[in-house]
Amino acid sequence: MSRLIRDLCGVVIDEHKGYLIEQRLTPIADEYNCKSFSELYHKLRYTHDENFEQKVIDAITTQETLFFRDTLPYEALQYKVLPELIDAREKQVIGKTRIRIWSAACSTGQEPYSIAMVICELIPDVHENWDVQILATDISDEAIKQASRGEYSEYEIGRGMKPEMLKKYFIKTPTGWKVRDELRSLIAFRKLNLLKPFVGVGPFDVIFCRNIAIYFEPDVRKDLFKRITEVLTPDGYLFVGSSESLIDIGPQFKPLYHCRTVFYQPNKFANTTDTLTTVAAAT
């Protein structure tokens, strides 16, 4: 079963965590009248029923996330990455300056909304005079639905939301809080499996691909970041999770350090021997 899950979404579940699979898939086995996990496995493997597969993906993937997760990447975004991009892009165009950002495994939306709040803080006239869009994608239907609704419980808001941001960008509802339309309008939500080719996606100036590739096998992870380079502008920026590093991926990304955090840019000289040495020295 863990191999099948890996084929569906890339997530590797440790053999010792078989109980996790059992716990999460039992309700689906019941729903599809499977008397055993082996029956569930065969149905899933051979019927190619997309709804069935989606239910398994929704049940098995971990949507753990929070607003402004790890704080420092968002400070680097606000004080370093976006100002540099704005400078570079403003010189290139006449008319509205265009910036594209991708939150590549956005879970229930806290990540793209945090990015959107940073943008609004930095560019108060973003709706009038700028062409800024965030694409937020995830493999989980359920996660994307919640993200798109932009509704959060008090508990979810309590995890990372700053009071001044809550006041400015959310409206109180009887059960919690709802993102204001102005913030929501900066984001397009879409289902996307990171294992599949990125068709009609990009190019992006900034990509957040945080806390997902760590669950993939090394080759799958390497291939993912190779494909990410292809949809990142040459002077674009990539953020990964705080416990992740791209050092082992090879020379195609160079690490940059700011605000006690690390993020990456495509390495223009990735194919030259000189750069291999430079990157190794920098890391």
- Inter-helix orientation angle 37-47/18-31, to 10°: 70
Nearer to ligand SAM, 123 or 195 (CB): 195
The label of the residue with tokens 């790890």 reads: 70
Cis peptide before 203 (omega within 30 of 0): yes
- From the list 56, 66, 65, 69, the residue with the least C-alpha distance to 11 is 56
Q: Give the tokens for residue 120.
A: 């609004």
Q: Which residues of 164-198 are buried (b: 16+ CB within 10 A; e: fewer)?
A: ebbeebbeeeeeebebeeebbebbebeebebbeeb
Q: Minimum Å distance from CB 275 to ligand SAM?
A: 29
Binding site for ligand SAM (CB under 6 A): 9-11, 61-65, 69, 105, 107, 111, 138-140, 143, 193-195, 210-212, 241
Nearer to ligand SAM, 138 or 279 (CB): 138
Task: Give the side-chain half-sphere CA count within 13 A for 87.
Answer: 7
Nearer to ligand SAM, 89 or 222 (CB): 222
Nearer to ligand SAM, 9 or 228 (CB): 9
Q: Minimum Å distance from CB 103 to ligand SAM?
A: 7
Nearer to ligand SAM, 123 or 201 (CB): 201
Q: Minimum Å distance from CB 156 to ligand SAM?
A: 12
Cα 279 from Cα 261, distance rounded (Å): 17
Q: Minimum Å distance from CB 102 to ligand SAM?
A: 11
Q: Minimum Å distance from CB 5 to ligand SAM?
A: 10
